[in-house]
Amino acid sequence: MDFELQRIIEMALREDIGTGDITTQATVDPQIVCRAELVAKEDFVLAGIDVAAAVFAQLDSSVAFERLTSDGQQVRRGEVLAWLKGPAQALLQGERVALNLLQRMSGIATQTARFVIEVQGTAATVVDTRKTMPGLRSLDKYAVRVGGGTNHRTALYDGVLIKENHIVAAGGIATAIERARRRAPHTLKIEVETTTLDEVAEAIAAGADIILLDNMTLDQLREAVTLIGGRALAEASGGVNLETIREIAETGVNLISVGALTHSSRAVDISLLFQS
Amino acid sequence: MDFELQRIIEMALREDIGTGDITTQATVDPQIVCRAELVAKEDFVLAGIDVAAAVFAQLDSSVAFERLTSDGQQVRRGEVLAWLKGPAQALLQGERVALNLLQRMSGIATQTARFVIEVQGTAATVVDTRKTMPGLRSLDKYAVRVGGGTNHRTALYDGVLIKENHIVAAGGIATAIERARRRAPHTLKIEVETTTLDEVAEAIAAGADIILLDNMTLDQLREAVTLIGGRALAEASGGVNLETIREIAETGVNLISVGALTHSSRAVDISLLFQS
Amino acid sequence: MDFELQRIIEMALREDIGTGDITTQATVDPQIVCRAELVAKEDFVLAGIDVAAAVFAQLDSSVAFERLTSDGQQVRRGEVLAWLKGPAQALLQGERVALNLLQRMSGIATQTARFVIEVQGTAATVVDTRKTMPGLRSLDKYAVRVGGGTNHRTALYDGVLIKENHIVAAGGIATAIERARRRAPHTLKIEVETTTLDEVAEAIAAGADIILLDNMTLDQLREAVTLIGGRALAEASGGVNLETIREIAETGVNLISVGALTHSSRAVDISLLFQS
Amino acid sequence: MDFELQRIIEMALREDIGTGDITTQATVDPQIVCRAELVAKEDFVLAGIDVAAAVFAQLDSSVAFERLTSDGQQVRRGEVLAWLKGPAQALLQGERVALNLLQRMSGIATQTARFVIEVQGTAATVVDTRKTMPGLRSLDKYAVRVGGGTNHRTALYDGVLIKENHIVAAGGIATAIERARRRAPHTLKIEVETTTLDEVAEAIAAGADIILLDNMTLDQLREAVTLIGGRALAEASGGVNLETIREIAETGVNLISVGALTHSSRAVDISLLFQS
Amino acid sequence: MDFELQRIIEMALREDIGTGDITTQATVDPQIVCRAELVAKEDFVLAGIDVAAAVFAQLDSSVAFERLTSDGQQVRRGEVLAWLKGPAQALLQGERVALNLLQRMSGIATQTARFVIEVQGTAATVVDTRKTMPGLRSLDKYAVRVGGGTNHRTALYDGVLIKENHIVAAGGIATAIERARRRAPHTLKIEVETTTLDEVAEAIAAGADIILLDNMTLDQLREAVTLIGGRALAEASGGVNLETIREIAETGVNLISVGALTHSSRAVDISLLFQS
Amino acid sequence: MDFELQRIIEMALREDIGTGDITTQATVDPQIVCRAELVAKEDFVLAGIDVAAAVFAQLDSSVAFERLTSDGQQVRRGEVLAWLKGPAQALLQGERVALNLLQRMSGIATQTARFVIEVQGTAATVVDTRKTMPGLRSLDKYAVRVGGGTNHRTALYDGVLIKENHIVAAGGIATAIERARRRAPHTLKIEVETTTLDEVAEAIAAGADIILLDNMTLDQLREAVTLIGGRALAEASGGVNLETIREIAETGVNLISVGALTHSSRAVDISLLFQS
């Protein structure tokens, strides 16, 4: 995560500080050192505490950041996540960027955890999608893992997912799969999107490794799982929310991909409180 | 918005495509040209149609993108936002990035419009905050404007906002304001955060141009507005949501800043449908 | 390949031209237009003709580049690969970069084709490795495909290959595979390196998708293939050269990875001849 | 070499690690520390040991890298080049990049040394060309120096070399030289390419500082050297290999430029062996 | 100033060192350590001593840089500004870049101080303009502050200055101001350029916060100040030099903007003397 | 100059426009097209007209820029340098950057021309130094050429100039020259700085190609020229200004390097006048 994390923090700090924090430079003496604490203002699953630490470290290596919690932990409203001590200028300048990142990441982890809890006891795994925030995908996907989910492919370059339009362009499921097997690295499984049981059958016959069952009814999902019979992984997608995921999981699918983990998660509420 | 837009689109495309869209390269002939349409899957205020166009233009200059709607327009479920025609490979590769950006921007505009409607008929203006998505602030702020809101300062470099911790560090409101006036460019107004009426009085006496009334009750807000008496702009913040904003606006404040416009907006649902 | 190609060409041109081609600027009038041809000085498999064209296009969009051959074609000594026409300054400045790239890529394609011919009629596929030229991997891997080979994983981020040291660190093949299955995206197959038949058996039992048979004798390879019995892909590596690859292929392995395709290929000889 | 080295290492690590080493992250505990040694698998002239060290240092500053050899040393098969100790994750992630660079650089140094030995006792110096690997020229040229060769100009910006096409464009050798003398910095010598003795005579008359004798026979070279008579440096090029270089050197030329030092050198074999 | 400073130093060092300091590498042993001192060769106001230190720190963290003076100090010819000790190679390579930056910054501070002295005792403040050196604006503006001046807006993104052409395009002063008030962040004051007293009156009526009085005579300036009557800040510009600024200041304007602070300042003379 | 020019213009535009020209966006309708002219406000030698054109072209490719003058031309006060026509927003946003660059470049060309005129009729050439504006060296050096001067080495990477400290570190002039000849590319001449006639003699004896005569009196310069006797180029430096350069030139030196060409040139006055 290193290179990406470095890029993201630098991008975020440049965006927010640019040619300088005018207010802080004008009003706060560079010699003033102060303490502050990161405090949870609601209950959530923490994700990104190292990212927050890295924001301040990049601004001023003399800032001390003492973690009192760690990623994946369920924190309670009022809980102190970390103590900071360092130049007041650095704490003031890094505050917003650190919070913006930490609040989003924890929001995703918390949202993911809710979905994961729903499928407990079933065979299904909750996976993310590419519906992430442009530029922040590596953090979004990390937060999903922290929340107990697992990652689907990172991007277009590291997974084969043959969708309806690829099938149309290739002239059929079989041709599309055959082309992918011949041209894609042999280290990648081949996943095919299907919307009917006929397509599922066709995909199995053509040797797909994973079958995406898109927007199917619960009945269709059950039939598809039976049809697949363990010869491929079954992944459900479409219309997944906290109300529907349990039923979907109980159809026997192996994976359920949920765009809502990342495209619409709510930032949790966290404050940086300065100690007077 | 040009330089930022270019940077964001390149960042997003590199993140998603990287060394190449394996599936499309393997299954879709480069010569195939197709048509597709961007379709609204729910009602919302559109923002970012030019951004979506720019994503495809950057991928392949031969993609035609015909806008049928424009930013700021209230679109209906099922409405076609734009027609595209171009190499199937380019349409498939740009789809996710274009949707991720367009869905977020429209989500922010839609959310902003809801708040703006609530304050209609009052003197209050809805303004955004720095609680934006790291790396995407210029798009987030543009979407707020599209939704009818107005922008607060862009970042730490283009506005003076003296917060509690600056005041503590400077040794009081008067000193902090005096320092800011002396050291910040004369082209910037000076805004001061207050939490009590005493602080409001102190800020006015010291000549603040804008007074941020943070987390005050409706009664306090009303008193603060009276106290200020037009000598400075009054900006309310804290605890603002769709239920509370009308009452806050009716206290007579000039501005209401709302973090929720950008930190927790939901992506609206939009599809790119390929025409067979 | 677009983003990478653009980055590579810009990097190469900056490296070679920097603050300017002193000789050309001093001696050649900017108005002079000339013609030149790319000529093969030996027999080889062409790869990179579009890369060469892109070098000149980036330098000066007025350069015309007419391809007379295309990638994958076996060209003969003396054959004209392409005609160029444009400002003499641009042709002179782009010459070395275009040739350096084209000569390397064609060298790799030619070398790959030799290996591919050797395994014809067997079930084995020739695949590349990560022993590519730092910074040029996307071109190296493209050239392998042009030569008839197929690509192994692109990098560490898009494939799981559990090597000896991972196994030691994880405490055994079974644990390593189990961890990878749980933590890596489900879209990736799991490949495990083995050096003995016992390890092969262990890997199969643990459900490996691909088994790398490293530095095994022909007898061992044959036994491994039998042992695997189609339950996983068998990939041979180590000690592979033009003398040995046929025998290796005849053991029945599915894949043979060859570092020599990219780490030690010889640049083929190509000239840019100016027409007087 | 600093800025270039930093750029190259970062480029190479990003290319190979990107969003993360999936296998290592999944299977190796971040706390595990291990030792490894870089071992020569054949005899060669070492070049790049500091580059290898810098690769690991950039990945994780806690990796200890103890050099047992130094650049320019003739190492033997089985010789340990360096000891490493550090987090297993860092050693596994840096292995390929470090080896790819070290193997190429040592390959160039070894190849150069072979040419240099051939000309011992003559007045000739072995120099490189611009036929280097795009993006890696600074390392390629350093390796040539390590192997006992000397560098020709780095690029188009730091040397004047008037080739046939410049002469044609300028309308003759004399005009081209005169233009270069007038327009290029006076700190650069002026080199002119010639293919006949008449051209050599013309170049001398026009005051060339260095005369490139391209693709001449041994007899022609001898005559050219006589003709030049010490008034300029004589540089031979074309058709130079290990079989021909001695004879060429004995013609009395001052310099022999050899593209093969860098365009077709073979990577030497080096392993990183982990200690269990 | 951090991000900008880092960018500028890296840019300057790359520009001057590029692929390496040939002379130093060829003639100076890397082990040689030496001492040197930065010495003023004339009287001036120092600005940039930390920038000079940062240049050497970036080149080689082992260079010791002991400041004997600090920014804003009036130094005398012959005065030693700082002591350096470190590898001779690093001192030689950083010398020119450090001096180029330090000499320019001190030149600006010195020039600014001359203007500031002239207006002492009046109400006027000396402010800079956007006539700075492209790429170095943050350093130019810092040097102005060191010299006792204050900064106007940094750039087009952080201040509203409605010039003649904006007025023409908007169709009048009142419309232009009204549009700016509605569309620009409320944290920015609105400044309007005027050239006649009528325009001044119009700008006041429209509620401008700052009125730029461009190229007015002393009489006009006096009348304008009277007309404005404290309702806005009055800023004079045009035709300002050391001969005219006092009279301009005495008209009662609040601010005088001076392009000459940065567009034509003379570099002061400073040497880096090596100790033998 | 291409790559550098592109980098400089992008850097300058980002610096000045950043997240957007607030004033123009708020007050000027994007559809408004206007005309403007670049006008000389004093007499000077023009340099940079293509740079100014490139600034607007990069902002908006629809801006028409018609050159009425060309670089190197002596222009008169009031002369129109170019006509522009395009979107008012683009003209307003590019104005300052275009002028800042054009005014500096023309200032350097004008200053250089003054020095060049002084040496007319002598054998001396006016050359620049590395005392250029950090980040803008390529433009500074181009402007020197436009003014009739010639360029010294571009940077540390493309010329050998052995200064006093190199000599001390190497242990003498002879050793330093010998090391440079052995280690630097043979395409570079070797220049040595001297301050006494003894050093001149030593440098000649050691075979220096260029001898820098630093801060010598006119008598010393004359003697040095005699001593050198055409065996090397003689370059004078130190204490060169418009009053002294003629006498220095008449001593017979070949080159006179003048830091003042670039380190303290005054920006000439140019306006962009909009046509109503």
Q: Could you report the per-residue pLDDT of C110-143, keeping only the tens digit for each? A: 999 999 999 999 999 999 999 999 999 999 999 9
The letter for the amino acid at B60 is D
Q: Would you call F159 and D127 a contact, using CB atoms and an 8 Å cutoff?
A: no
Contact status of E154 with chain A (Cβ, < 8 Å)? yes
What single-letter DSSP state applies at residue B276?
Answer: -
Residue A135 to chain E, least CA–CA distance (Å): 20
Active site residue E114: no
Q: Could you report the per-residue pLDDT of A159-191, keeping only the tens digit for each? A: 999 999 999 989 999 999 999 999 999 999 999
Q: Would you call F8 and E134 a contact, using CB atoms and an 8 Å cutoff?
A: yes
Mutate to test the interface with C, among D22, D29, D95, D132 (most CBs of C within 10 A): D22
List of chains touching D (3+ CB pairs within 8 A): A, C, E, F
Residues of A in contact with E3 (CB under 8 A): 13-14, 17-18
At E220, is the pLDDT very low, low, confident or very high (cuts 50, 70, 90)? Answer: very high
Task: Please list the alpha-helical segments (H only) found in A72-172.
Answer: 88-118, 137-146, 164-170
Q: Would you call C88 and D133 a contact, using CB atoms and an 8 Å cutoff?
A: no
Residues of E in contact with B154 (CB under 8 A): 157-158, 185
> Which residue in C268, F120, F190 sits closest to D263, CA to CA?
C268
Mean per-residue pLDDT for A93-121? Answer: 98
Nearest CA in chain E to B161: E187
| Phi then psi dihedrals of residue B66, to 5 deg | -105, 110
Q: What is the pLDDT of residue F1?
A: 46
The letter for the amino acid at B91 is L
Query: Is residue B275's pLDDT more than 90?
Result: no
Mutate to test the interface with A, among D6, D10, D16, D19 (most CBs of A within 10 A): D19
Q: What is the pLDDT of residue C264?
A: 84
Q: Are A238 and A260 in contact (CB under 8 A)?
A: no
Contact status of F19 with chain B (Cβ, < 8 Å)? yes
What gap in Å lies between CA B251 and CA B244, rounded to an integer? 11
What gap in Å lies between CA B229 and CA E144, rounded to an integer? 38
Contact status of F77 with chain B (Cβ, < 8 Å)? no
Query: Is residue A247's pLDDT more than 60?
Result: yes
Active site residue F130: no
Mutate to test the interface with E, among A6, A7, A13, A19 (most CBs of E within 10 A): A19
Mean per-residue pLDDT for E225-229? Answer: 98
Nearest CA in chain B to E208: B187
User: A206-221: b or e for each residue (b if 16 or more CB lie within 10 Å)?
Assistant: bebbbbbbbebeeebb
What gap in Å lies between CA C147 and CA E223, rounded to an integer? 83
Q: How many CB atoms lie within 10 A of CB B219?
A: 9
Residues of F in contact with D187 (CB under 8 A): 152-153, 158-161, 188-189, 191, 210
Residues of C in contact with B16 (CB under 8 A): none
Q: Are F50 and F70 in contact (CB under 8 A)?
A: no
Nearest CA in chain F to D212: F187
Residue F222 to chain E, least CA–CA distance (Å): 27
Q: Could you report the per-residue pLDDT of F146-177, keeping only the tens digit for each? A: 999 999 999 999 999 999 999 998 999 999 99
Active site residue C163: yes
What gap in Å lies between CA B152 and CA B131, rounded to an integer? 11
Give me the residue from C3, C154, C155 closest to B14, CB to CB. Answer: C3
The letter for the amino acid at B236 is A
What single-letter DSSP state applies at residue E266?
Answer: P
Residue A1 to chain D, least CA–CA distance (Å): 6
At C275, is the pLDDT very low, low, confident or very high (cuts 50, 70, 90)? Answer: confident
Residues 97-126 of F with CB under 8 A from D: 125
Residues 182-221 of D with CB under 8 A from F: 182-183, 185-189, 191, 209-210
Nearest CA in chain F to D156: F158
Beta strands C125-127; C160-162: pairing state: unpaired
List of chains touching C (3+ CB pairs within 8 A): A, B, D, F
Residue B247 to chain F, least CA–CA distance (Å): 30
List of chains touching E (3+ CB pairs within 8 A): A, B, D, F
What gap in Å lies between CA D131 and CA D118, rounded to an integer? 21
What ipTM describes this predicted complex?
0.95
Q: Are A22 and B160 in contact (CB under 8 A)?
A: yes
Q: What is the pLDDT of residue E275?
A: 86
Mean per-residue pLDDT for C43-58? Answer: 97
Q: What is the pLDDT of residue E1?
A: 46
Q: Could you report the per-residue pLDDT of C187-215, keeping only the tens digit for each? A: 999 999 999 999 999 999 999 999 999 99
Residue B117 CB contacts under 8 Å (≥ 6 apart), including other chains? none
At F197, is the pLDDT very low, low, confident or very high (cuts 50, 70, 90)? Answer: very high
Q: Would you call E186 and B127 a contact, using CB atoms and an 8 Å cutoff?
A: yes
Q: Could you report the per-residue pLDDT of F52-85, keeping only the tens digit for each? A: 999 999 999 999 999 999 999 999 999 999 999 9
The letter for the amino acid at A101 is L
Q: Would you call F187 and D255 a contact, using CB atoms and an 8 Å cutoff?
A: no
Q: Would you call A156 and B130 a contact, using CB atoms and an 8 Å cutoff?
A: no
Q: For chains C and F, count residue pairs whose Cβ atoms are closer than 8 Å.
A: 11
Contact status of D169 with chain E (Cβ, < 8 Å)? no
Q: In what order do the strands lie in the sheet with E33-40?
A: E64-67, E80-87, E33-40, E270-275
Q: Are F106 and E263 in contact (CB under 8 A)?
A: no
Q: What is the pLDDT of residue D3?
A: 84
Residues of F in contact with E91 (CB under 8 A): 165
Q: For chains A and D, count residue pairs whose Cβ atoms are closer than 8 Å.
A: 11
Catalytic residue among F145, F163, F181, F246: F163
Q: Could you report the per-residue pLDDT of D48-72, keeping only the tens digit for each? A: 999 999 999 999 999 999 999 999 9
Contact status of F267 with chain E (Cβ, < 8 Å)? yes
Q: Could you report the per-residue pLDDT of E9-65, keeping only the tens digit for each? A: 999 999 999 999 999 999 999 999 999 999 999 999 999 999 999 999 999 999 999
Active site residue E76: no
Give me the residue from B3, B154, B155 closest to F17, CB to CB. Answer: B3
Q: Between the CA of residue D149 and those of B265, D1, E19, F181, F182, what are the distances in Å?
A: 63, 17, 18, 14, 11
Residues of D in contact with F160 (CB under 8 A): 187
Q: What is the pLDDT of residue C3?
A: 84
The letter for the amino acid at E127 is V
Q: Would you call C156 and D24 a contact, using CB atoms and an 8 Å cutoff?
A: yes
Mutate to test the interface with D, among C97, C101, C165 (most CBs of D within 10 A): C165
pTM: 0.95
DSSP string, C138-159: HHHHHHHHHTT-B---SSTTS-
Q: For chains A and B, count residue pairs whose Cβ atoms are closer than 8 Å.
A: 211
Residues of C in contact with F138 (CB under 8 A): 19-20
